Structure 1
């Protein structure tokens, strides 16, 4: 029903400031009663991270930063939802306007700056909702904190008992210095402390690591090795990019500072995903993010090495009906290839896509 209504309300939403439209959408979802989604085709199921995912299509962090509408979002048919990013102390983020639609490019630029209601508020909402469906939490550090590693530890200790996975976000481009934590020495210390905090609080909760697209292959080598050594359960590839492809049509808006997401990110994100798969495919599953706006894009991500998928920006243009269309398209592709599940498809084209995506 909601998906069918989106073409009617999209002109109204797109007539508003992008953040205002998002806030209204989230508020409407938060008022909806929880409902179970329609059953998925069994061929879409993925067993990973100690969980049984009914389908691989997840909602990326950033849409529901405060965990206000996780149940309603699951009801839209997502196989899992990641809320956040969450930081220990409430912070407002960067001044508005801070999010921009690049409509002709099917892209978004944001510079939110990890705006968050804070750890106590988000933890309270997760406690009240209980444990229905698969919900993870993306965690970060306050902009003005004196000890960023301690912020990640505090978030992990508090939220691990309330979530199915914790995603360590060291890749937001909108918090100064945060991406420096992807350096090998910092990352090793960070992951060691986060995993230890998880072990004390909720040993069964998986720890994921979300990386940036704007890294060299040497840096990827180090990140992958550190993640495997420290017991990370999966890599999330990848966050928004600070790069600006020359082919962007919305040239005026493309000059806005912030992270670019959506269709222009698909190529570089998929190449990085394939490169990561070639390095850790036998040891660490991958979550593919960046530019997924169709079943074909989702299929390509899986063949590049993704066991799970996440999307967000495409919803701005396609609406929630996109989730069902992607799932139907994946089933159709599996049927055409005689596949009984997605695991046999994962990484099949990684070597080729690493060279050409």
Structure 2
């Protein structure tokens, strides 16, 4: 129903306006989802224990969809095993100028340059206080666009301390291509400093939370080796592979269309193989030393299974969720059940 009726209508309108419309429908008419959307699969055979947390199933929603933690309770009803909110920054910010979200229909992809638009830390906390305990929640945190380099760490620490009582795990978003002054966040020595400072706060908490690092799909083997060493040295809990890509090679969308769109991070089917390569490399070269959440280009159950076979412990969807609808969650879980027997 989604792909044959709902999606063709939604895709006639501006992507960002459709996003807000969909949010409003799920928030205000969420009870209808139980009537018109596929019933989620529930089974103890889908449960996974990863970095000390018990997930009811291994299919999550990636950050960027529920930026302000306003819809996680309703999203839980769709069958997700976990939802990652954010990216949350200390202060609210409007993000980059519109238009900033573009569908690549020929490629089943999306280009975005949203720029961490969100309502800020305080607003996210107020929303998370309404948590009904139906789902594991990850907190994806970042810096404000106008924050000067010497204060980057303080932004992350502020978000970490503020969200700590309300989320189950954290993600340090250091790989989004749509924020200013990005170079420092790619420096390994700075990442060591950042992770160390976050861990200092985490260790004195009554209940420390798992901390993950989200990395880009465009890293070369040397950079991936540095990530493996970084995880070993800092003892961070895991990695999310991967974020959006700046690489536009091999797209079916005409060059003139891409030039008109301009800069932004590419997600969806075009980055499927890149993210899977990163997952496989990290898993094999590290000897499966740490958990990996696989994300990037998952538009079918087979795509998700490929990520799991490559070494991912859990998977996340976003662009595939936009293109394929809630049925994708059920399809993935059904395949995992079938192939795990």
Deviates more, 1:307-316 or 1:210-219: 210-219
Native 8 Å contact 1:211 1:237 kept in 2: yes
Native 8 Å contact 1:161 1:201 kept in 2: no
Aligned positions of 1:188-227 closer than 5 A: 188-201=192-205, 203-227=207-231
Q: Which position in structure 1 is the counterpart of 2:8?
A: 11
Tell me which of 118, 121, 129 is aligned to 1:119.
Answer: 121
Aligned positions of 1:255-334 closer than 5 A: 255=259, 256-334=262-340
Deviations 1:93-117 (A, max 9, x none): 0001100000110000000001110
Native 8 Å contact 2:2 2:324 kept in 1: no
Residues 228 and 131 of structure 1: CA distance in aligned 2, closer, same or farther (over 3 Å): farther
Instruction: Please state how far the C-alpha of 1:333 moved relative to its aligned partner.
Output: 2.5
Q: Which position in structure 2 is the counterpart of 1:51?
A: 53
Residues 81 and 32 of structure 1: CA distance in aligned 2, closer, same or farther (over 3 Å): farther
CA distance in 2, matches of 1:314, 1:253: 22
Native 8 Å contact 1:241 1:260 kept in 2: yes
Native 8 Å contact 2:111 2:265 kept in 1: yes
Question: What's the TM-score once normalised by structure 1's chain length?
Answer: 0.88
Secondary structure, counterpart of 2:116 in structure 1: coil
Aligned positions of 1:232-247 closer than 5 A: 232-247=236-251
Secondary structure, counterpart of 1:306 in structure 2: coil
Instruction: Please state how far the C-alpha of 1:6 moved relative to its aligned partner.
Output: 5.6
Native 8 Å contact 1:135 1:164 kept in 2: yes
Deviations 1:156-214 (A, max 9, x none): 01111110001000000001233531311100000001111222345331111100112
CA distance in 2, matches of 1:19, 1:61: 16
Structure 2's unaligned 5+ residue stretches are none
Instruction: Please state how far the C-alpha of 1:30 moved relative to its aligned partner.
Output: 2.2
Instruction: Please state how far the C-alpha of 1:252 moved relative to its aligned partner.
Output: 3.6
Residues 22 and 276 of structure 1: CA distance in aligned 2, closer, same or farther (over 3 Å): same
CA distance in 2, matches of 1:80, 1:250: 36
Native 8 Å contact 2:41 2:334 kept in 1: no
CA distance in 2, matches of 1:203, 1:182: 29
Q: Which position in structure 2 is the counterpart of 1:344?
A: none
Instruction: Please state how far the C-alpha of 1:235 moved relative to its aligned partner.
Output: 0.3
Native 8 Å contact 1:183 1:219 kept in 2: no
Secondary structure, counterpart of 2:204 in structure 1: helix
Tell me which of 49, 52, 73 is aligned to 1:71.
Answer: 73
Residues 76 and 195 of structure 1: CA distance in aligned 2, closer, same or farther (over 3 Å): same
Q: Which position in structure 2 is the counterpart of 1:175?
A: 179
Question: Alignment RMSD, CA only?
Answer: 1.8
CA distance in 2, matches of 1:169, 1:7: 35
CA distance in 1, matches of 2:229, 2:40: 39
Instruction: Please state how far the C-alpha of 1:66 moved relative to its aligned partner.
Output: 0.4
Aligned residues: 332
CA distance in 2, matches of 1:202, 1:317: 41
Deviates more, 1:71-80 or 1:277-286: 277-286
Structure 1's unaligned 5+ residue stretches are 336-357
CA distance in 2, matches of 1:176, 1:113: 8
